[in-house]
Amino acid sequence: MTALRLPGSIDETRARLLEQDYVADRLLATAVFLALKLERPLFIEGEPGTGKTEIAKVLASSLSAELIRLQCYEGLDVNLAAYEWNYARQMLEIRLGEAAHTAREQIAASLFSERFLIARPLLRALQPHPVPPVLLIDELDRTDEPFEAYLLEVLSDFQISIPELATIKAERPPIVVITSNRTREIHDAVKRRCIYHWVDYPDAERELQIVRRKVPQLQDALARQIVAFVQGLRTLDLYKLPGLSETIEWGRALLALDRLMLNPQTLDDTLGVLLKYQDDLARVRGSEAARLLESIAPQLATGQL
């Protein structure tokens, strides 16, 4: 097996993330460093679009590890998350055994073996890999409490009990990243097993750094306008505030439209990239967008951003 080259300090962790164009603050870098050092799951909570899922992706890339993603949703069960038996192959095995006049006891004994087991993301993450994989359990808040309870064995002991077969335990623990948009509270029993970090919207300086890295072709003046305008939007009482992912996407959209500066017409034309609800669009489009654009002009002129 290949040795995993983990960062040796918080500063190195930040540098490794920055190599993957992820601009992390010190608090996040500390949480990532401790999760790696202590072999504990990293639980990341925050608003949608603040870069939670991206952390798992850049970790996998930084460590040259496979990313195994479990996308959570309502009704997710063990069969889709951990493992299931290949019933079609088992039925075929029974028929072949009967045709060959194999004893029923012998057929039955062979049905629940690893060759009939289908590994889903949780089990795949515990199986041997050249380098321990990064297991992303994305948007855990979309599932229900029984599934959270099932996860406790995986998060505590890095193992899965399969009643018909055995207990499968990881030779080397995977790197686990759990995300939540906090649409509901996750049980304390899950959080206690993790290193916890809340990801907030970035401040203007860090958001500008991120935009410059993610959309390097943008003119600097436009990048500053974009960040200042989005920061202003987040001060409004909107149903859904634009996240970091929307800021980056807006920069790419303006670049595709060959815009060099923001103006009221451009704002009205492209607000749908930033805002995803009609009530928010109706409130901002027009005079409010123009007012906000005008309000950030002194800030940009004095170099405050």
Which pTM value belongs to this model?
0.88
pLDDT band at 305 (very low <50, low <70, confident <90, very high): low
Q: Would you tell me how many other CB atoms lie within 10 Å of the CB of residue 136?
A: 26
Q: What is the mean pLDDT of residues 30-56?
A: 95
Contacts of 225 (CB under 8 A, 6+ apart): 261, 262, 296, 300
pLDDT tens per residue across span 204-256: 999 999 999 999 999 999 999 999 999 999 999 999 999 999 999 999 999 99
What is the model's pLDDT at position 114? Answer: 83
- Tokens 């504990």 correspond to 40
> Contact, 65 vs 134, CB < 8 A?
yes
> What is d(CA 57, CA 68) in angstroms, rounded to the nearest whole number?
10
What is the model's pLDDT at position 298? Answer: 74
Q: 141 versus 296: which is more confidently predicted?
A: 141
Reply yes or no on whether the pLDDT at 93 is more than 90. Answer: no
Tell me the two tokens of residue 143. 């599932």
Reply yes or no on whether the pLDDT at 302 is more than 90. Answer: no
Q: What is the mean pLDDT of residues 118-142?
A: 95
Mean pLDDT taken over the chain: 91
What is the model's pLDDT at position 303? Answer: 63
pLDDT band at 111 (very low <50, low <70, confident <90, very high): confident
Tell me, letter by letter, the H, E, C secondary structure of the chain: CCCCCCCCCHHHHHHHHHHCCCCCCHHHHHHHHHHHHHCCCEEEEECCCCCHHHHHHHHHHHHCCCEEEEECCCCCCHHHHCEEECHHHHHHHHHHHHHCCCCHHHHHHHHCCHHHEEECHHHHHHCCCCCCCEEEEECHHHCCHHHHHHHHHHHHHCEEEECCCEEEECCCCCEEEEEECCCCCCCHHHHCCCEEEEECCCCHHHHHHHHHHHCCCCCHHHHHHHHHHHHHHCCCCCCCCCCHHHHHHHHHHHHHCCCCCCCHHHHHHHHHHHCCCHHHHHHHCCHHHHHHHHHHHHHHHCCCC
pLDDT band at 301 (very low <50, low <70, confident <90, very high): low
Q: 86 versus 18: which is more confidently predicted?
A: 18
pLDDT band at 275 (very low <50, low <70, confident <90, very high): very high
CA distances from 161 to 155, 210, 216, 237 (A): 13, 42, 48, 48
pLDDT tens per residue across span 148-182: 999 999 999 999 999 888 899 999 999 999 999 99
What is the model's pLDDT at position 55? Answer: 95
Of 152, 178, 137, the closest CA to residue 42 belongs to 178
Contacts of 276 (CB under 8 A, 6+ apart): 240
Instruction: Say which range, 138-152, 180-194, 291-305, has the weakest mean pLDDT.
Output: 291-305
What is the model's pLDDT at position 65? Answer: 94
For residues 246-275, one letter each, b for 16 or more C-beta atoms within 10 angstroms of the residue's C-beta and e for the rest, the string is bbbbbbbbbbeeebeebeeebbeebbebbb
Percent of the chain with pLDDT over 90: 77
